[in-house]
Amino acid sequence: MSAPREPAIAVIGAGMSGICMAITLLRAGFRDVTIFEKSDRFGGTWRENTYPGLTCDVPSRFYQFRFAKNPDWSRFFAPGAEIEEYFTGVAREYGLAGRTRFGAEVCGAEFVDGRWTVTTAAGARERYDFVLCATGILHHPRTPDLPGLDDFAGAAFHSARWDHGVELTGKRVGVLGTGSTGVQIVSDLAGKAGRLIMFQRTAQWVAPLPNGRYSRLTRAAHRRFPVLDELGYAVTHRIFEFLMGALTAPGPRRKMVGGLCRANLRTVRDPALRAALTPEYQPMCKRLVISGGFYRAVQRPDVAVVTSAVDHVVPRGVVTADGRVHDLDVLVLATGFDAHAFMRPMGIAGVDGRTLDQVWADGPRAFETVALPGFPNMFLLIGPHSPVGNYPLTLIAETQAEHILGWIRRWCAGEFDTVEPTESATERYYAQLRAALPETVWATGCQSWYLGKDGRPELWPWTPARHRALMQRTPDPANYRFATARG
């Protein structure tokens, strides 16, 4: 009896999901694992985002790996630097540093003769049996096409490219964007900047969850009794599973969350400001903003909310559609990311040279969130239509990594040389997905980064529990195309 085969595996990306995937492989006994990372260190989005006020909007004790619980979180919602430190520490603890090619940006991958050739920007070319894409969804900053932006005399930068050399104390600061990032920045800078202006294109619903500190005693207890970490994770998990039902189907839970947001909005005392901050869509249609201090911040006399659309930029500041010039020293672009890029701009060519850009011409899609027809032995983490709406990506990544591990184990046992979902199975899956989307809150009428080119939400339309069950069940072989070296 022959020994199991040892696959050569490339993991692209050393952020949260890449770290998760690589550790899952190493814990299962695989050793020929190479991680490609374009930057010089681990961390992904938590490495690239360092803006003031940055926190995760999922509780710390839930936004962590189940196999690497951290008893020392400082707050209920951990600050960004602490999260980056956590992921970096986990990566080093499991020995990923020696398996990671830092500064090695992958520019292409081509499927030739049953294997993948991975090419870096430096020109290196290597062959692998599997390519696992862990490139994330929020890493390509989206900069608005504003006339005159290059002529601005002050400092202007995207929130994901924060210039820490720019002094903000006492300065006139404008923040363009009102999503989670804009809210966190405004909440932090209020009272520090001399004058703070938030340019609001669309009002956001805000859930009022305070970000309390964990005491030294609490952290010591969690270190001493690991069962407390397990309990904290389990309780938060149950609460989130309950709340996720508000996203995917109408009912009492949706009304409950909406009522909480509306009650929070009533804490804004000035009727005109409250009206300006009141969205015209249902709560959670856009990603729900979590903040215990935003409404206090915007009610300060040195903070202004401008609802007139930004028309253009001049050297002295921003001009809005009403003709008013807003003088600024600093302009922050909290304008989000291209959430539909996924692995792109990497040039990926599958069977018969067909490219990812060609198959995604009408928008990204993946069979059951992890695989692509025409791209054998390539799997995705946090791929198209994953359940990312107000949910911890750590748990999604763990679930998908275990699913991918199952396929690689079957390859090792000699069941196949390459596997890919069929086009017909993918079409059936997307027909079911499209049929379920109208019931979700994201389809109730708003513009958000959740929506694709066709106006439909690019999210999982069912509960996260259903996604886990899908990832954990034995795949139906009728949905896949298998090939062996013998044909």
pLDDT score of 117: 98
Pick the last residue of a domain from 281, 300, 333.
333
Q: Domain of 342?
A: 9-140+338-483
Asked if residue 4 belongs to a domain, the reply is no
Mean pLDDT by 10 residues, the chain (487 residues): 82 98 98 97 96 95 96 96 98 97 97 97 97 90 94 97 97 96 97 97 93 95 93 90 86 92 97 97 93 96 97 98 98 91 93 96 95 98 91 96 98 97 98 94 89 87 94 97 78
Q: Global pTM?
A: 0.95
Q: Are residues 288 and 417 in the same domain?
A: no
**Mind listing the pLDDT tens digit for each residue in 92-127?**
999 999 999 999 999 999 999 999 999 999 999 999
Q: Are residues 209 and 282 in the same domain?
A: yes
Q: What pLDDT was estimated at residue 3?
A: 67
pLDDT in tens, 235-281: 999 988 888 888 888 889 999 999 999 999 999 999 999 999 999 99
Are 326 and 378 found together in one domain? no
* Distances in whole angstroms, Cα of residue 8 to Cα of each of 11, 95, 241, 320: 10, 17, 37, 55
Cα–Cα distance, 118 to 109 (Å, whole number) = 4
| Residue 1 placed within a domain | no
CB 462 within 8 A of CB 249: no
Number of domains in the chain: 2
pLDDT at 2: 60
Kindly state whether residue 349 falls inside one of the protein's structural domains: yes
Query: Which of 270, 299, 333 represents a domain boundary (last residue)?
Result: 333
DSSP assignment of 392-444 equals -HHHHHHHHHHHHHHHHHHHHTTS-SEEEE-HHHHHHHHHHHHHHGGGSGGGS
User: In the prediction, which pLDDT does 357 show?
Assistant: 95
Could you say which of 333, 354, 374 is where a domain stops? 333
Q: Is residue 423 part of a domain?
A: yes
Name the nearest CA neighbour of 383 among 398, 400, 360, 395. 400
Q: What is the CATH number of the domain that holds 268?
A: 3.50.50.60
What does DSSP assign to residue 323? S
> Which pLDDT value is given to residue 1?
45
390 is a domain residue: yes
Q: Which amino acid is at 283?
A: P
Residues 160 and 134 in one domain: no
Q: What is the structure's pLDDT at 182?
A: 97
Q: Do the domain assignments include residue 103?
A: yes
Integer Cα distance of 208 and 210 in angstroms: 6
